[in-house]
Amino acid sequence: MSSEQYLAAVELHLRDLPWRARRDLVSDLRVHLEEMPPGEDLVARLGTPEGYAADLRGAAGLGSPSGVLAFLRARRPRNLVVAAVVVAIAAASAAAITWSRSYQPLATGSVGVNPIPSTQGAVGETVAPFRNREPFQYGVSILNSGRFPVRILAVPIDPDFIYPFKVRAYVVPSETDFTKPAEAFHPFTLRPGHQRLIVLRGIYANCDQYITNSGVTLPSIPVRARFLLWTHTFWVDLRGPLVIRMPAHRDPCSTG
Amino acid sequence: MLAVLSRGETYGYDILAQLEDAGLSGVGDASVYGTLRRLEEAGHLHSRLATSASGPARKYYTVTETGRQSYVSGADTWCRIERAVDLLMNGSRS
């Protein structure tokens, strides 16, 4: 057994001791081994590493510490600091991710544009009759109710989802004058406390998916947005559900 | 250990050699180093590291005032035990 192997084996049997005591004892042994004549049979001279470690432990009065405190004291202080920093960073990252996922900075603003024709329902919903291939328009303002500027990236109406219309998104280029003509949607930054009017324009469509006298309710629209380091798709509730109602006594796919 | 160290500053390997020269060859190497650590922790010894031109850096130990008092007390106790054993074995006071 080489000196290094003997040293490593003794240190292994002292691994429960406080790090500083273990370091000193192993350092003493290292010097001792270097003082010994080369080629000496270490086990014959010193005994087995386990026995040597037990003698050291007994003579030094160190016993066999156990418990959480002993476990921590047996670790190198620098390693404990590194471990604590890693744990703190991981915890902070997890907390930041959790917070970002629960953070909802977008809310419905005070301005809207209802389809024409439409009526107000009894429980606050807007009811519009489905008119196949006729123009459709609906506007909803989105408000930044959070504390950070939010970059609005898109209004990703999923074309695979069965909406009763085919639309594209537009945006009114003002935070105060909502009568300005809407422009084709382009990303913009929404400052805290400000709102912008998003307009969905297109045609009523997909009538084949609905049966006569039924209705389709839309409670919210998706808004893709980025704030700080995160990008999310937020679902912004409409001021009241939008209900597209199929005609009662006509083929819903007939025009008008 | 304190008796060896009370002769002057020295290091672990030399202490072992002195103990062996005195006939205490059964003292284990680990016992010497463990005891050195315990005495130092108790404040009986003071240590310093000194580099050596020919070998590894050695840890030299000296006896502190507390250690000297402990040695004197221990030596006195040992002498009394020795006299008592001698009396019991030989039947006369020396």
Percent of chain A exceeding pLDDT 70 equals: 94
The Cα–Cα gap between A80 and A82 comes to: 5
Instruction: Kindly give the pairing relationship between strand A135-144 and strand A126-129.
Output: unpaired
Q: Where are the beta strands (DSSP E) in A65-207?
A: 106-113, 119-120, 126-129, 135-144, 150-154, 165-171, 183-184, 188-190, 195-204
Whole-prediction pTM value? 0.55
- Answer yes or no: is pLDDT of A111 > 60: yes
Domain that holds residue B72: 2-90
Most confident of A46-50, A160-164, B48-52, B54-58: A46-50
Q: How many domains does chain B have?
A: 1
Decide if A40 contacts B29 (C-beta within 8 A): no
Answer yes or no: do A31 and B35 touch at CB < 8 A.
Answer: no
pLDDT at B93: 57
Percent of chain B exceeding pLDDT 70 equals: 95
Question: How many Cβ atoms are within 10 Å of A29's Cβ, its own excluded?
Answer: 25
Residue range A27-41, pLDDT digits in tens: 889 888 888 888 888
- Across chain A, what does the average pLDDT equal? 87
- Answer yes or no: is pLDDT of A133 > 90: no
Residues of B in contact with A46 (CB under 8 A): 28-30
- Answer yes or no: is pLDDT of B69 > 70: yes
Decide if A212 contacts A139 (C-beta within 8 A): no
pLDDT at A69: 84
Which residues are CB-contacts of B2 (< 8 A; sequence separation ≥ 6)? B39, B44, B63, B67, B70, B71, B74
Question: What does the domain layout of chain A look like in residue ranges?
Answer: 3-75, 106-245
Which class is domain A106-245? mainly beta
The Cα–Cα gap between A201 and A166 comes to: 8
Hey, is the C-beta of B32 within 8 angstroms of any chain A C-beta? yes
The Cα–Cα gap between A111 and A191 comes to: 17
Which residues are CB-contacts of A204 (< 8 A; sequence separation ≥ 6)? A130, A131, A132, A133, A134, A136, A164, A165, A244
pLDDT at A254: 59
Q: What is the CATH number of the domain that holds B82?
A: 1.10.10.10
- Closest of A183, A36, A191, A92 to residue B29, by C-alpha: A36
pLDDT at A186: 95
- Answer yes or no: is pLDDT of A256 > 50: no
The Cα–Cα gap between A184 and A154 comes to: 11
- Answer yes or no: is pLDDT of A193 > 90: yes
The Cα–Cα gap between A130 and A57 comes to: 88
pLDDT at A77: 87
Hey, is the C-beta of B64 within 8 angstroms of any chain A C-beta? no
pLDDT at B26: 82
Amino acid in the structure at residue A65: P
Q: In the block, which residue shows the tokens 């310093």?
A: B48
Residues of A with CB under 8 A from a CB of B: 21, 24-25, 27-32, 34-36, 45-47, 51-62
Lowest mean pLDDT among A32-36, A173-177, B90-94: B90-94
